[in-house]
Amino acid sequence: MIYFTSPDDKDDNFNIPNASKTAFKNYKSGLSSVDFDNMTDDSKLKNLDIIDDGESIGTLTFPVIVLFKNAAGKKGAIKLKSINADRLLVDIKVQK
């Protein structure tokens, strides 16, 4: 099971001082890999409703898109391209 979780998530036993909330939409982001690759501004991100879904990534057929919104309200997308042992290869785009 693979998923992104907030650094302040108490259930995952993280102990990161001053960690802030980040919401992740791991399952069925609604943003395609083509949409991600073609983004040159935040127009595709700003209207997306990103609520933490508490789910794992549904498929590992790469690439996979995961959406997030940080504590400052900035939205972003993570394009998960591959997994090799304990490492992830990703591209990330975040609103300015």
Please report the pLDDT score of residue 84 as a whole number: 87
Closest of 86, 80, 84 to residue 29, by C-alpha: 80
**DSSP-derived 3-state class of residue 10:** helix
Number of H helices, E strands in the chain: 2, 4
Asked whether residue 5 is domain-assigned, the answer is no
Mean pLDDT throughout 49-72?
93
Q: How many structural domains are present in the chain?
A: 1
Give me the residues paired with residue 76 across strands: 68, 94
Asked whether residue 1 is domain-assigned, the answer is no
Please report the pLDDT score of residue 93 as a whole number: 98
Q: What is the pLDDT of residues 8-42, one digit of tens each?
A: 887 767 788 888 999 999 998 889 999 999 999 99
Closest of 72, 73, 33 to residue 50, by C-alpha: 73
Q: What is the pLDDT of residues 64-89, one digit of tens each?
A: 999 999 999 999 999 999 998 889 99
Give me the residues paired with residue 17 across strands: none
Please report the pLDDT score of residue 58 as a whole number: 83
